[in-house]
Chain A
Amino acid sequence: MFVARSIAADHKDLIHDVSYDFHGRRMATCSSDQSIKVWDKGGNGEWSCTASWKTHSGSVWRVTWAHPEFGQVLASCSFDRTAIVWEEIVGESNDKQRGQSHWIKRTTLVDSRTSVTDVKFAPKHMGLMLTTCSADGVVRIYEAPDVMNLSQWSLQHEISSKLSCSCISWNPSSSRAHAPMIAVGSDDSNVTYGGKVQIYEYNEVTRKYAKAETLMTVTDAVHDIAFAPNLGRSFHVLAIATKDVRIFKLVPLRKDGSSSAPTKFEVQVLAQFDSHNSQVWRVSWNITSTLLASSGDDGCVRLWKANYMDNWKCTGILKGDGSPVSGQPGALSGVLGSATAQSALNGLNELLLLRHKCRFSPHGKLSSKPIPLSCCKSFSELLSLFSFHPTTGQKK
């Protein structure tokens, strides 16, 4: 019940990251060709490239969107040791007609002395904050005090995590019961330091980030990490892409009053899957944290879902070229069969932020990438539900 569509990306080299905006109508890709491309989904469901420009002087590792409350803003990070913030400006009318838009550089963050491996915006309730992590293990948290002025950012925190960092993820929870929390993954080959995932928490008293937990059982290189949406729960769920797919549950243990010590957690392993049988490169949650997608070197995307007893299992497998794995007819129908509206509507966002590090053809074609999976016909069609005409109920 899905159809994959491939998009010829025209990047001149490997594509390292793809990122959807908040509403799933725009997409940014970044590449070793040092450029970023922005794609917009048209009314007819077709993706078209509306901007393409050179951004760094080295491979661009990651690209990410800010919350639309802050405008149309992107951040990218690169091997060239910088992270850059971009803003889209409304162009001339003939540009609009040609379907092109312009992005201008607002600020370059040059504090890192090594390759910047990930860049992420913090949850919007924290203001306009940007986080980077570098190959030398330093995590930096910046803030733009005036959200209208994207050229002014101040470095608020520098965290030395001692291990070469590869990825970061903010806990999206905006609950007052949870202090700001960030997970940092490492691909360091050093075996002395056991755990390759560290959790840092902001402390109101010390006004600093301190390490709250290290996941000691994760000893292999971590490629991606993602907190699940919180849903007002007291505990946190974290997915990790390493030599396998892992899902952890972090249960905060009671803290006495306002202490200056970080929260202690009880760490449980909810799931561990080596079905990819190879390195897992990306993990991504859907909006309601009911579905996890993972991609691996086996060229497949796998979807994971838990039943009411917290038993996780695979509910779908898609090959990189979008075809279902044989023997699994309509692999996704299981998802839709028990579809609650929310699960179906999540469809598009389920497969967001997903890419697997396939051996791409030298043309950097997106055809072997799961981004086309956003075009799972069922999902995107369902998502197009949102484009109903308010009065007549006919699709716009």
Chain B
Amino acid sequence: TTEKNKYVSILLAIELIWNLCEVLFIDAAPAGSLLLHLLDWVRLHKSDVDARAREVLQSDSPAHHQSYWDVVISLVLQGRVDEARQVLSKQASLRAESSSVFKRMDVLLHTMPIFNPTGTQTLTEFDVKWRHWHEECDRCLQDNTFASNRHLETICKILVGDEDTILEQKELLSTWYHFLVTRLLFTHPTIKPPDLHYYAQVHTTSPILLSLRYCYTELKLVKNKYYLLFYFNSDKFIYLFIYFFLRVFFHLLAVDYFDHCPEFGRVYLELQIERVPLDTERKAIKVLRICEDRQMSEQVRSICKIMAKRALRNNRLGSALSWSIRAKDAAFATLISERFLQDYCNKGSFTDLDLLDNLGPAMLLSDRLTFLGKYREFHRLYGENRFSEAAKLLLSLMTAKIAPRSLWMTLLTDALPLLEQKEVIFSVDQTYELMSCLEELNSGTKDSSQTDQDEDIESTKTELLRLALARNLAMAIVKEGTIET
């Protein structure tokens, strides 16, 4: 039953938060009545005051009851000034000598303006009236009118909205939102919803979200039974509850709910999660995390593929590549790598350098991707003037057969500037290897789709390369044959 009680108390907490949300967001209250709604809401959820009040009033000597002043103050805190007056009157009849003080308080409480949204008084008129009254209360404090009775002094301080005094009543308030509403009642009775948010901010985080989060954490502790919430009887409550609660915590609640469904939970989640529209990358990542946490590998793959495909359609190659890597889709990664290379051939430069430079082990997903990553590395080394490393890499791309044949000519052409440096970069052995690559390339069957012009260009390139390679070979032989003195 302790579990049940806990469960019930959480339900009540949720209902309470729900009512607050209803007040704040749904009921389009006319100006000035927000506070009244909030007061109603507080009263609704702090009903122990009534019980205590009854207990006090029904006792033999209410004024001497130990909870007497607690009741009076609680009633004032809830803005129930008339009732507070009623209880106070029990005290007043006893002590004739202090009756003037009690009369004074009675007047203050009696004259407290309460806004009537259906009345003829405008908000401005009310505001003026309220300020007068507020000043009156303040004057009583300045004049030490209630100095003889600390309880009345406390009440007066509450009436002027003194924060410290109200905070001191935390036993009676018991919750932050009660504190908030009380403070508003005695400082800004005409508050509007947007202002309320600002006031709530005083507590540094949105307390509604905080409370929901609290409820959620509490719920998790009520082992596996909280989904019964959804079978709570009120249709409207459930609908709106789901609407708000899930809105804020879908990824926590609904998913957990599925996790707890014994038979079909997982399947339902799998089916549902893949239908979540992937409007933004951020959202996709969030959905992915849910899937990854549950080892839903097929859904992960599918979502990544969808994102990759979409990126490719929009020519965002970098994004498409990241997504294919995440999807572990080798075929798609190959395709995108080819596009990168095509782009390079057309434009002479790479896009998405950040991504290409930091592929890491993901590079191994597909041969073409590996080549792309290494090729980019070659360009980087060259750009950093690390020529011998660049040269070594370039050669290995061909000899280790990482580079596709179709790109060998491009690679050899990339070697030209290295061959034409004043300093000898390629060693004798390396030069021989390059030469054999060139010959291998030329020994292959002629591409019949090549035009005459293309053929000319090819043969010119080959000539240039042969010349450069020969020159380099000569210099390298000399260099390696020379003994350093």
Chain A residues within CB distance 8 Å of chain B:
1, 22-25, 68-72, 88-90, 124, 148, 229, 231-232, 287-288, 333, 336-342, 344-346, 349, 378, 381-382, 385-388, 390, 393, 395-396
Q: Roughly how many angstroms separate A385 CA and B254 CA in the complex, as a whole number?
A: 11
Q: Roughly how many angstroms separate A217 CA and B243 CA in the complex, as a whole number?
A: 44
- Contact of A385 with B250 in the complex, beta carbons under 8 Å: yes
- Contact of B247 with A90 in the complex, beta carbons under 8 Å: no
Chain B residues within CB distance 8 Å of chain A:
209, 227, 230-231, 235, 238-239, 242-243, 246-250, 253-254, 257-258, 261, 264, 267-268, 271-272, 275-279, 282-283, 286, 302, 305-306, 309-310, 313-315, 335
Q: Roughly how many angstroms separate A214 CA and B283 CA in the complex, as a whole number?
A: 45
Closest to B314 in A: A90
Q: How far is the CB of A164 from chain B (nearest CB, A)?
A: 34
Q: Roughly how many angstroms separate A55 CA and B275 CA in the complex, as a whole number?
A: 28
Asked if A342 meets B268 with Cβ closer than 8 Å, knowing A23-B277, A90-B314, A388-B247, the reply is yes
Determine the chain A residues whose CB is within 8 A of the CB of B275 once the complex forms: 22-24, 287, 349
Q: How far is the CB of B209 from chain A (nearest CB, A)?
A: 7
Q: Roughly how many angstroms separate A351 CA and B230 CA in the complex, as a whole number?
A: 23
Q: Roughly how many angstroms separate A22 CA and B271 CA in the complex, as a whole number?
A: 11
- Contact of B230 with A388 in the complex, beta carbons under 8 Å: no
Asked if A385 meets B315 with Cβ closer than 8 Å, knowing A23-B276, A341-B242, A341-B257, the reply is no
Q: Roughly how many angstroms separate A1 CA and B267 CA in the complex, as a whole number?
A: 28
Q: Roughly how many angstroms separate A231 CA and B270 CA in the complex, as a whole number?
A: 9
Determine the chain B residues whose CB is within 8 A of the CB of A70 once the complex forms: 309
Q: How far is the CB of A310 from chain B (nearest CB, A)?
A: 14
- Contact of B267 with A232 in the complex, beta carbons under 8 Å: yes
Q: Roughly how many angstroms separate A353 CA and B67 CA in the complex, as a whole number?
A: 66
Q: How far is the CB of A5 from chain B (nearest CB, A)?
A: 19
Determine the chain B residues whose CB is within 8 A of the CB of A148 once the complex forms: 335
Q: How far is the CB of B289 from chain A (nearest CB, A)?
A: 10
14 chain-A/chain-B pairs, Cβ below 8 angstroms: A23-B277, A23-B278, A69-B302, A70-B309, A88-B313, A288-B268, A333-B235, A337-B235, A341-B246, A385-B247, A386-B276, A386-B277, A387-B279, A396-B279
* Of the residues A69, A342, A378, contact of B305 by C-beta under 8 Å: A69
Greatest chain A CB density within 10 A among B231, B253, B267, B335 is at B267
The 4 A-B pairs at the shortest CB distance, nearest first, are namely A393-B248, A341-B254, A23-B277, A337-B235
Closest to A349 in B: B275
Determine the chain A residues whose CB is within 8 A of the CB of B261 once the complex forms: 340
Determine the chain A residues whose CB is within 8 A of the CB of B209 once the complex forms: 393
Q: Roughly how many angstroms separate A337 CA and B275 CA in the complex, as a whole number?
A: 23
- Contact of A90 with B313 in the complex, beta carbons under 8 Å: yes
Q: Roughly how many angstroms separate A396 CA and B286 CA in the complex, as a whole number?
A: 15
Determine the chain A residues whose CB is within 8 A of the CB of B335 once the complex forms: 148
- Contact of A341 with B309 in the complex, beta carbons under 8 Å: no
Asked if A393 meets B239 with Cβ closer than 8 Å, knowing A68-B306, A69-B309, A341-B230, the reply is no
- Contact of B309 with A336 in the complex, beta carbons under 8 Å: no
Q: Roughly how many angstroms separate A344 CA and B286 CA in the complex, as a whole number?
A: 21
* Of the residues A25, A339, A393, contact of B242 by C-beta under 8 Å: A339
* Of the residues A339, A349, A381, A390, contact of B283 by C-beta under 8 Å: A390
Determine the chain B residues whose CB is within 8 A of the CB of A72 once the complex forms: 313
- Contact of A388 with B248 in the complex, beta carbons under 8 Å: yes
Closest to B239 in A: A336
- Contact of A345 with B254 in the complex, beta carbons under 8 Å: yes
- Contact of B230 with A387 in the complex, beta carbons under 8 Å: no
Q: Roughly how many angstroms separate A148 CA and B333 CA in the complex, as a whole number?
A: 13
* Of the residues A124, A337, A385, contact of B246 by C-beta under 8 Å: A385
